[in-house]
Structure 1
């Protein structure tokens, strides 16, 4: 068991929860656990792919069939990191199939709010998990494991607390309500080495602004899975939108190639 480590001038005790609430229920160690906060040479492969892609496609659907077809359309358009929201009917079944059919793609489950759903997502083959907030029980269990947990945070205090507790990347949510890319740029000043993933309300055409402001990646929902296209099951349109946003992210990344660590 780790007893803590010092990173920069920050001394961490990796198993000390930030709050005494529920601390007795937090699992102490994941079976595949590795050292807290990997160095750049041992960065989680999922995080590396997220950074290279610049885009995490976030899929919500009303049924299994639509979810499957919309996911395949987005992948055909160039998406290489795909998150399916846990409330999508059959989300875990879709993840299982996609993981087998697209081994080079990173698949995750989003809006995970409890350890039970997190463990189910892991069994289904998810390589990353995301939450709109920081769920400490999930963070402690998956910290340093092969499954990347990306907790959500809004304020500088929340961001720093999640990072010092072991998060390898932080989802900034709801970013558009907080000032959009300007907020990311502001956060970069005190937190130059923490990977920040911008989420909520991001549109095509603004991806480059977020990446240039310092975001490691952006989460896109309607910008790819357009509501009208989803309702009409217009998967050609979804593929077209996916191609446009992944191209935009690629062009932005070429001008900002240094990984945020």
Structure 2
């Protein structure tokens, strides 16, 4: 009986090293070797869906009832990632109802500044939390949770500090005041490996430019939830704006992939 073939995989990057013995000699060769496939964590799934959408709709309303109606209009228009701002009355109840109605959506809470609010948002079903600045207590609290935390940053130092602390993606805020998509383009030169969301003052027409310049996604507030439309309960207008934004976002993301 001949000697058995012996294979070893020291690392997936090196490949599978096999020793094939024969009666007179043996030879070794290297073939491909890969690790068993692993499923994405809930946080990474949320991050992936945010990037694939290209648009985060940011909703702030004067009442829970108005928030729900506006959210329904935006979701009907194709929005798949929705942020409800903390200043919205009954924000956690609104979130909880939307989670029950749309369990597959990526729903989160924005302008979260306290750990207590982060805990309440997570309990209500938030898949992500967003802040205008980096709140270290929140960063530490969500570190081992299934909720993505998106801290707000302005400068290169703040970007590095947030990512070193564990942030998987950061929000550049207020981006329009800092130079808009040109600022994103400048930041991506030294930080090409860091995922960035652009937020504040972005229009539907500029979505494509922001994505092209390096933003993984953009936050749209008044551009979708038009203030006048909210006052007049013009949910059809919100639906139309959401539809346009969702389409622009998906098209911009697809162009970047090709």
Please state whether the residue corresponding to 1:206 is helix, strand or coil: helix
Question: Structure 1's 120 and 145: CA in aligned 2 closer, same or farther, altered over 3 A?
Answer: same
The 5-angstrom pairing of residues 151-162 of structure 1 reads: 151-162=151-162
**CA distance in 1 between partners of 2:203 and 2:232 (Å):** 21
Structure 1 spans left out of the alignment, 5+ residues: 1-38
Where do 4+ consecutive residues of structure 1 move more than 6 Å? none
Instruction: Check the 8 A contact 1:144/1:166 in 2, yes or no.
Output: no
1:74-130 deviation per Cα after TM superposition (whole angstroms, max 9, x unaligned): 000000000000110011101001101111111000000010100010111111000
- Name the structure, 1 or 2, with higher relative contact order (CA <8 Å, separation 6+): 1
Structure possessing the higher radius of gyration over alpha carbons: 2
Matched, 1:193 2:197: no
- Partner residue, 1:7: none
- Partner residue, 1:117: 117
**CA distance in 2 between partners of 1:40 and 1:247 (Å):** 28
Aligned length, in residue pairs: 220
- Partner residue, 1:9: none
Could you tell me how far 1:252 is from its partner in structure 2? 0.9
- Partner residue, 1:72: 72
- Partner residue, 2:163: 163
Instruction: Check the 8 A contact 1:172/1:198 in 2, yes or no.
Output: yes
1:129-165 deviation per Cα after TM superposition (whole angstroms, max 9, x unaligned): 0000000000011124210000000000001100000
**CA distance in 1 between partners of 2:213 and 2:237 (Å):** 29
Question: Structure 1's 41 and 93: CA in aligned 2 closer, same or farther, altered over 3 A?
Answer: closer
Alignment RMSD (CA, Å): 1.4
Q: TM-score, normalised by structure 2?
A: 0.83
- Partner residue, 1:239: 239
**CA distance in 2 between partners of 1:172 and 1:204 (Å):** 17
Task: Report the structure, 1 or 2, having the larger strand content.
Answer: 2
- Partner residue, 1:10: none
**CA distance in 2 between partners of 1:68 and 1:133 (Å):** 27
**CA distance in 1 between partners of 2:251 and 2:148 (Å):** 26
Please state whether the residue corresponding to 1:255 is helix, strand or coil: helix
Could you tell me how far 1:253 is from its partner in structure 2? 1.1
The 5-angstrom pairing of residues 98-117 of structure 1 reads: 98-117=98-117
**CA distance in 2 between partners of 1:41 and 1:243 (Å):** 29
**CA distance in 1 between partners of 2:253 and 2:147 (Å):** 25
Structure 2 spans left out of the alignment, 5+ residues: 1-37
Question: Structure 1's 41 and 103: CA in aligned 2 closer, same or farther, altered over 3 A?
Answer: closer
Could you tell me how far 1:41 is from its partner in structure 2? 5.9
- Partner residue, 1:129: 129
Instruction: Check the 8 A contact 1:96/1:124 in 2, yes or no.
Output: yes
Matched, 1:51 2:51: yes
- Partner residue, 1:202: 202
- Partner residue, 1:180: 180
Question: Structure 1's 108 and 160: CA in aligned 2 closer, same or farther, altered over 3 A?
Answer: same
